Amino acid sequence: MDYRREIDGLRAVAVVPVILFHAGFSVLPGGFVGVDIFFVISGYLITTLLVQELDAGRYSLARFYERRARRILPALFVVIAATIPMSFWAMLPMQLEGFFESLVAVILFLSNLYFLTEVGYFAPDAELQPLLHTWSLAVEEQYYLLFPPLLALLWRRSHRGTVVLLTGIALASLALAEWGWRENAARSFFFTGTRAWELLVGSLVALVLHRRHIFPHQGAAALGLGLILTAMLLFDGDTPFPSLWALVPVIGAALVILFAGPSTVVGRVLGGRLLVRVGLISYSAYLWHQPLFAIARLRFVSEAQVAVMLALVVLTFALASATWAFVEQPFRRRPTPLLARPAVLFSASVVAALGLVGVASVGMATNGFDAAWRQAFPAKVLILNAILRAETAMHLPQDDGACRFNVETVDQQTGARLADCHARHGAGVAVLGDSHAIDLFGIVSARPDQPFVAGFTKPSCRPVLTTDRACPFDSALGFMTAHPDVFDLMLFEMSGAYLLMLDGTAGVQSQIERLPLEVAAPDLQLAEGEIDTIADWVATVSASLPIVWFGPRVEPQVQLQWLVGRGCDRGLVLRDNTEAPYQRLDAALMRRAADHGFAYLSQMAAFDLRFPRDLGGCDRLLWSDGDHFSAEGEVEMARRVDLVSMAQAALAARSERPRR
């Protein structure tokens, strides 16, 4: 086919924003749409080649897949092979095990399905997956398993019918994408069925241009490039994707391919030497960038500094240039490429794939080369063991089989159990709240003098503030109102992060947890509206039930893996300015309690929380993650104080003082 410089320039426009987006730079918050542009380009180029061969009577599936193998596999295998030792250097064994699972999925071109079930594209953990970006390769290869034979079948019968049927399939795929993000956005993002329409748009553009030259048009070409840039500038991680919004960059790419000839301004810009050069190495650059970024983040265990990420962007393109010159080109060079005979090429590909799968299989069978990792890094073994203890025992047991148990709703069976425990032990202690209240349940139930403790908790459930999931509060309060003698104390706790805000948004955990330890925490503000909402709810409950609000704890957001890099001798530390916002929040909640007349107990004062002492260390980690106590932490807090007695004293004090 005739070479079009502007297509390589369009590749550059696609790949650079994707790389900057994955590097964490906010200059193009919608840079992820570059992948959608790649899909359109791929559909256009592949379909153009196929219909030319069909017209010439030279169509061959074997030759098609030979071209795909030469284009995709050599560079992919090189990057994967290089990523394995880097991952061993940066990952803990349990992370390595997951990495090898994803590696097998990549080799089978099923990585989109693997990541569909394992991680969300915009989730925080996604950036730590070295092979996450290969989901788009899997989508393309799955598409090209079905599309060439379908095109050959339709093309021989009716050219017009081919266009009509492919248009119908594209519209159905687009409708599926629009439905899919509403039902399960994470799964829809990676699913081939919701992405096929983008490739089909490129294929339809190829059919429009078949046996024709492009249609140079200054306005249409400028509109196409404008749509692409608009999507990159205005879209972000909250934009439903893929959906009807994806039409903006997809139609933009189609317009550029249709109308940006060399005689147009857009065509000349895209055909410039620098953009063409970047476009030529775009595939290798796409392969290299995510492993480099993920390994850096794993090694830093935080968002790497701007200078580091800029250096990795430069390294990405340096490695891409070398890979294009010394790996891609030799395998595609005509007329004598490396492994020129298709049978030899396919055999070598199978051998290389089996070799990588073999390494991955050993890695999975050995739990991420656990023994080898421990031998290679003996100084980190103690740290790792402490982390594993903390993460494995995140909480004390949630049900002792008797009268210390935690539930997410009160049904008839639970009600009968509560009544039986009341008959056996008298009035008990109830604990309500989110995942922090699960910690509180463990602390209260760890004391032997509390035989009857019932938790009504669920992660991410906060009364009044949570509306999108079934929370236990209504059923629990309904039971307690109907049976007021069963409990003589209710303890309520929720994460304080949802009562603080940054840039006008409440819920600040994800905004803090990836900051480097040496960077001060931002100056969080009180979320006054949320505070008033919860205070009103507690006050309403306190009018008829003995509830005590157990105030929020400081949330360190210090990931335990930082111990691996810092070492036991240096230990864990808080970022500067971590405690101050929670101290202001604690004081504000005390004032609300006095104003509303409900009982309030400061957690930070009750447990005498002091940092960094109460983060723990390699001998005993008191936290299982950035904001939850570990089982050992729950035991330690239970040892420090008789929390029930303190809460009952707070109730008594509340009943003695007049409401303001």
Q: What is the pLDDT of residues 363-418, one digit of tens each?
A: 999 999 999 988 888 878 888 888 888 877 778 889 999 999 999 889 999 999 99
- Residue in 270, 256, 254, 250 with CA at minimum distance from that of residue 219: 256
For residues 509 and 648, state if they share a domain: yes
- Determine the Cα–Cα distance for residues 382 and 564; give it in Å rounded to an integer: 9
Distance of alpha carbon 319 from alpha carbon 327, whole angstroms: 11
Q: Which long-range contacts (CB under 8 A, 24 or more apart) does 230-234 make?
A: 231/30, 231/33, 232/17, 232/28, 232/29, 232/30, 232/31, 232/33, 232/34, 233/28, 233/29, 233/30, 234/29, 234/30
Q: How far apart are CA 111 and CA 211, in angstroms?
A: 37
* CB within 8 Å of 21: residues ≥ 6 apart: 28, 29, 30, 31, 32, 34
**For the whole prediction, is pTM greater than 0.85?**
no
- Predicted local confidence at residue 406, as pLDDT: 94
- Whether the CA torsion 394, 395, 398, 400 is positive or negative: it is positive
pLDDT at 1: 65
Confidence of residue 304 (pLDDT cuts 50, 70, 90): low
The Cα 492–Cα 494 span in angstroms is 7
Residue 632 lies in a domain: yes
pLDDT in tens, 205-236: 999 998 777 788 999 999 999 999 999 999 99
One domain for residues 438 and 294: no
Q: Are residues 364 and 406 located together in one domain of the fold?
A: no
What local confidence, expressed as pLDDT, does residue 368 receive?
93
Residue 471 near residue 461, CB atoms below 8 Å: yes
490 and 547 co-located in one domain: yes
CA distances from 221 to 12, 415, 422 (A): 16, 68, 76
pLDDT at 265: 96
DSSP state of 132: G
CATH of the domain at 403: 3.40.50.1110
The closest of 400, 397, 405, 453 to 430, measured between CA atoms, is: 453
Amino acid at 499: L
147 in a domain, yes or no?
yes
Do 210 and 245 contact (CB within 8 A), yes or no? no
299-314 mean pLDDT: 83
Q: Verify that 317 and 290 share a domain, yes or no.
A: yes
CA dihedral (434, 438, 440, 446) in degrees, to 10, reads 170
Residue 434 DSSP one-character state:
S
Q: Is the peptide bond before 242 cis (omega within 30 degrees of 0)?
A: yes
Query: Do 369 and 395 share a domain, yes or no?
Result: no
Reading the block at residue 512, the tokens are 């803090």
With respect to residue 382, please indicate whether it lies within any of the assigned structural domains.
Answer: no
Look at residue 194 and tell me if it is in a domain. Answer: yes
Check pLDDT > 80 for residue 571. no
Are both 370 and 408 inside the same structural domain? no
Per residue in 498-527, pLDDT (tens digit) is: 999 988 888 777 778 777 777 888 889 999
The DSSP call for residue 658 is P
pLDDT beyond 80 at 448: yes
> Does 28 have pLDDT greater than 70?
yes
pLDDT at position 303 is 65
Residue 256: give the domain boundaries: 5-376
Say how many domains are in the chain.
Answer: 2
Is residue 383 in a domain? no
Q: Which residues contact 401 (CB under 8 A, 6 or more apart)?
A: none
395 against 198, higher pLDDT: 198
DSSP-derived 3-state class of residue 467: coil
Q: Are residues 500 and 628 in the same domain?
A: yes
Q: What is the rounded CA–CA span in Å between residue 603 and residue 585?
A: 12
Q: Residue 433 forms beta bridges with which residues? A: 457, 493
φ, ψ at 488 (rounded to 5°) = -110, 5
The CA-CA-CA angle for residues 294, 297, 303, to 5°, reads 130
* Cα distance between residue 306 and residue 409, in whole Å: 46
Q: What is the mean pLDDT of the chain?
A: 91
489 and 349 in a single domain? The answer is no
* Amino acid of residue 205: V
Distance CA 500, CA 506 (A): 5
Q: Is 72 a domain residue?
A: yes
Lowest mean pLDDT among 155-159, 440-444, 490-494: 155-159
Instruction: Provide the token pair at 204.
Output: 């339809």
| Helical (H) or strand (E) element with 549 | strand 547-550
pLDDT band at 612 (very low <50, low <70, confident <90, very high): confident
DSSP state, residue 575: P
Alpha carbons within 13 A on the beta-carbon side of 227: 19
What pLDDT is recorded for position 376? Answer: 86
Q: What is the pLDDT of residue 30?
A: 94
Query: What single string gives the DSSP state of each residue in 367-411?
Result: TTTHHHHHHH-GGGHHHHHHHHHHHHTSSS-SB-SSSEEEESS--
In a domain, 355, yes or no: yes
User: 341, 376, 411 — which closes off a domain?
Assistant: 376
- DSSP assignment, residue 487? E
Q: Quick check: is 381 in a domain?
A: no
3 state SS of 267: helix
Q: Which of 331, 351, 376 is the last residue of a domain?
A: 376
Can you tell me the distance from the alpha carbon of 377 to that of 370, in angstroms, rounded to the nearest whole number? 11
Reported confidence tier of residue 122, pLDDT bands at 50, 70, 90: low
Do both 321 and 418 map to the same domain?
A: no
Q: What CA–CA distance (Å, rounded) separates 314 from 291?
A: 14
- Do 538 and 598 contact (CB within 8 A), yes or no? yes
pLDDT, tens digit (0-9, with 9 covering 90-100), for 233-292: 999 988 999 999 999 999 999 999 999 989 999 999 999 999 999 999 999 999 999 999
Give the pLDDT of residue 660.
46
Region 151-177: mean pLDDT is: 92
471 and 344 in one domain? Answer: no
370 and 410 in one domain?
no
Which of the listed residues 317, 341, 376 is the one where a domain comes to its end?
Answer: 376
Sign of CA dihedral 386, 387, 388, 394: positive
**CA distance linking residue 279 with residue 627, whole number of Å:** 44
Alpha-carbon distance 479 to 548, whole Å? Answer: 18
Strand partners, 454: 405, 430
Cis peptide bond prior to 335, omega within 30° of 0: yes
Tokens representing 425 are 């032990």
